[in-house]
Amino acid sequence: MQPASVYEAIGGMETFDRIVAGFYAQVREDDLLGPMYPAEDWEGAEQRLKWFLVQYWGGPQTFSERRGHPRLRMRHAEFPIDLRAHDRWLELMSNSLEDIEEETLPPAYRAMLWDHMQRVAVMLINRPV
């Protein structure tokens, strides 16, 4: 039987947990991105990104329930996102995706996740490059 969603096809919540955990472990240590994130709420930030990705790819709609409409451009307006920050975000996320073995995240699905992240990231640039 075909999986009902990308979310299911790549292992559901457990895989998204790993993607965001791997990403945030690097963000915490990052000189450029680290200071932008709320030092007192790393766990919350991790959850919000996970809810968003899970919802987008067909999993539980927790993001909408807890956060409402994504409005990502508006929610990122306070953070200085120039080309460097954009590149760094994608670099750290790419590292995290690379850490998930192919049996769990086959290349075609990885490419779908990656394409979406790239499209969102470029849309969030809000400072001159």
Consecutive H or E run containing 115: helix 107-123
Q: Is 89 exposed, middle or buried (0-12, 13-18, 19+ CB in 10 A)?
A: buried
Does residue 20 touch ligand HEM according to CB under 6 A? Answer: no
Does residue 6 touch ligand HEM according to CB under 6 A? Answer: no
12-29 and 83-98 helices, crossing angle to 10°? 130
Region from 3-11, 12-20, 81-89, 101-109 binding ligand HEM, contact rule CB under 6 A: 81-89
Q: Which is nearer to ligand HEM, 2 or 121 (CB)?
A: 121
Token readout for 20 is: 């965001």
Nearest-approach distance from CB 7 to ligand HEM, in angstroms: 15
What is the residue whose two structure tokens read 């849309």?
A: 123
Q: For ligand HEM, which residue of 85, 92, 100, 105 counts as binding (CB under 6 A)?
A: 85
Close Cβ partners of 48 (under 8 Å, ≥ 6 residues apart): 63, 67
Does residue 79 touch ligand HEM according to CB under 6 A? Answer: yes
- Of residues 42 through 61, those in contact with ligand HEM by CB under 6 A are 45, 48-49, 52
Determine the Cα–Cα distance for residues 102 and 122; give it in Å rounded to an integer: 26
What are the residues binding ligand HEM (CB under 6 A)?
33, 36-38, 41, 45, 48-49, 52, 67, 72, 75-76, 79, 81, 85-86, 89, 117, 120-121, 124
